[in-house]
């Protein structure tokens, strides 16, 4: 399975690349300033990386979602998660508590992407000061929240789109590799 990992200038991008490779993906990493929508067509799936800015400062994220969300599997991480939320009409606001290098417990998680994850002890690493708000009648299903109720993961109700506000590739998310493995299983199951 070929994937493009869109690098949004984040230091964790190569950790994501490593996890994807460990899970058997063939991955190209391309910086968001150097990619074209036409280039994305070559890949089976798309990963939208974390980054230091707001999604509004990386407009290609929204172009990618507009062009490919209906038929290509997409995984968004942190900034990518926020872009997915915004694309589907969720507001982006300041997080209730800025989280930079802080592990939090996931208090609610429902989805096959959490299969064989120890939910009693699911700690995840957050690096964000922005968060996606809830939205009534959203096309996105909230599949995980932290203990203060902020959205930690989405799944699109009809398309193969998942996202994490937290960083599965961080050492502060000990079960992160399993989450990426589970995402790959969802790709195989749903394609």
Q: What is the CATH number of the domain that holds 158?
A: 3.40.50.880
Known catalytic residue at 167: yes
Give per-residue pLDDT as tens, 50-107: 999 899 999 999 999 999 999 999 999 999 999 999 999 999 988 877 777 878 888 7
- What's the domain range around 137? 2-190
Whole-angstrom distance, CA of residue 39 vs CA of residue 144: 32
Whole-angstrom distance, CA of residue 10 vs CA of residue 100: 14
Q: Which of 81, 87, 90, 167 is catalytic?
A: 167
Q: Which of 32, 78, 81, 90 is catalytic?
A: 78
Distance of CA 166 to the CA centre of its chain: 8
Q: Which of 90, 150, 156, 169 is catalytic?
A: 169
Question: Which of 191, 185, 179 lies closest to 77 in space, CA to CA?
Answer: 179
**Higher pLDDT among residues 94 and 137, named by residue:** 137
Give the Cβ contact number of residue 190 at 10 Å: 10
| Number of folded domains that form the chain | 1
What tokens appear for 2 in the block?
């070929």
């Amino acid at each position: 399975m070929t994937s493009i990992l869109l690098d949004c200038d984040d230091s964790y991008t190569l950790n994501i690349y490593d996890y994807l490779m460990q899970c058997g993906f063939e991955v190209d990493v391309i910086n968001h300033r150097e990619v074209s929508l036409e280039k994305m067509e070559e890949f089976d799936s798309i990963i939208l990386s974390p980054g230091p800015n707001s999604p509004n400062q990386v407009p290609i994220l929204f172009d990618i979602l507009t062009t490919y969300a209906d038929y290509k599997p997409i995984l968004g991480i942190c900034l990518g998660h926020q872009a997915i939320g915004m694309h589907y009409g969720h507001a982006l606001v300041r997080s209730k508590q800025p989280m930079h290098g802080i592990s939090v417990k996931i208090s609610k998680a429902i989805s096959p992407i959490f299969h064989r994850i120890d939910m009693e002890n699911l700690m995840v690493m957050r690096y964000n000061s922005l968060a996606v708000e809830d939205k009534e009648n959203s096309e996105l299903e909230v599949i995980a929240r932290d203990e203060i109720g902020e959205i930690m993961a989405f799944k699109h109700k009809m398309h193969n789109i998942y996202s994490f506000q937290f960083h599965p590739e961080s050492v502060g998310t000990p079960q992160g590799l399993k989450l990426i493995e589970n995402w790959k299983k969802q790709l195989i199951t749903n394609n």
